[in-house]
Amino acid sequence: MLPKISVIVLSYNYETYIKDNLQSLLNQTDTDFEVVVVDDGSNDSSCDVINSVISQNKTSVKISFYCHENHQNKGIIESYKLALSKCNFDYVAFCESDDYWHPDYIRNLKSTIEESKSSFIACKISCVNQSSNEKYDEFVEHCNKRLAKISSSNQNVFRYLLRGNTIPTFSAVCVRKKVLLECDFNTFYPPYLDLWLWRQIGIEHKIAFSTGSVCYWRKHDLSYDMISHLSELQAFFIANNELLMNKYSKCKFTNFLFRFIRKHFSQKIYLKCQNRVLSRINKRILNN
């Protein structure tokens, strides 16, 4: 039996793009999936656009639409938690409201899941501009090639997530729901929530890559900002590493040693030591 997939779409002030997003989901060649939309207190006409698309939907795809109480703006973390609580199927895919999918995305994604039995799937990314015209992006092409190689050679994706994000958009990822429910969503820097989650998942799960599922990642002036300062980025990785160390490192001496290193050495050295230990933990988990 092919896997059942719930697709999460978060909406926030993207009235210009949300219709294209939802229409790309309704235009899928495989319509056996559900869409869960959560609006995070938009103050433009996004909600009207969403309701219009739902009212005109003639496909078998069910779109469920939710908002926070009193139409509050609660942020990306609480919005994803709400959306996840409304998902009914075993796998959860993401399509951010300013992005969209190729018509065969779901069909090819299901085939990849069925073939690989993976709980963690990344899909091919193609960059587009504000007008939906494809544009070459060297970083994205590098990520596509790296993910394809990791998947085909049965490597561990976690080693590539230790220092950066080789899966740069939510819109190209699908995860088994029970795996997502085990994750801690509470990052101090919400724009990097995707990497915060991918590292938690990647330490225990190998990744499959669906080359036939193409996500169109729209890069524009209103895109969610990312960390720009090295010190903030290091702090992000250290916080995520500490989360993983607390979960997987049971050695009292190791934990004492890391407290000592953090107190007496630089962030850079502390982070380097964390990465070495977590890399070993990752190998041990996946080799068992």
**102 contacts: CB under 8 Å, gap ≥ 6:** 24, 213, 214, 215, 216
How many other C-beta atoms are found inside a 10 Å radius of the C-beta of residue 241? 20
Tell me how far apart the alpha carbons of residues 179 and 119 are, in angstroms, rounded to a whole number.
7
SS3 content of the chain, % helix, strand, coil (to 5): 50, 15, 35
pLDDT digits (tens, 9 = 90+) for 137-155: 999 999 999 999 999 999 9
- The structure's pTM equals 0.95
Q: What pLDDT was estimated at residue 250?
A: 82
Can you tell me the mean pLDDT for 116-124? 97
In the beta sheet, which residues pair with residue 7? 35, 93
Query: CB of 219 within 8 A of CB of 252?
Result: no
Q: At what angle do helices 193-202 and 75-86 cross, to 10 degrees?
A: 50
Q: How confident is the model at residue 220 (pLDDT cuts 50, 70, 90)?
A: confident
Given a cut of 60, whether residue 225 has pLDDT beyond it is no
What backbone torsions phi and psi does residue 122 show, to the nearest 5 degrees? -110, 150
- Digit-coded pLDDT (tens) for 61-103: 999 999 999 999 999 999 999 999 999 999 999 999 999 999 9
Q: Quick one: CATH architecture of 5-218? A: Alpha-Beta Complex (3.90)
**Residue 222 reports pLDDT greater than 80:** no
- C-alpha to C-alpha distance for 111 and 141, rounded to whole angstroms: 23
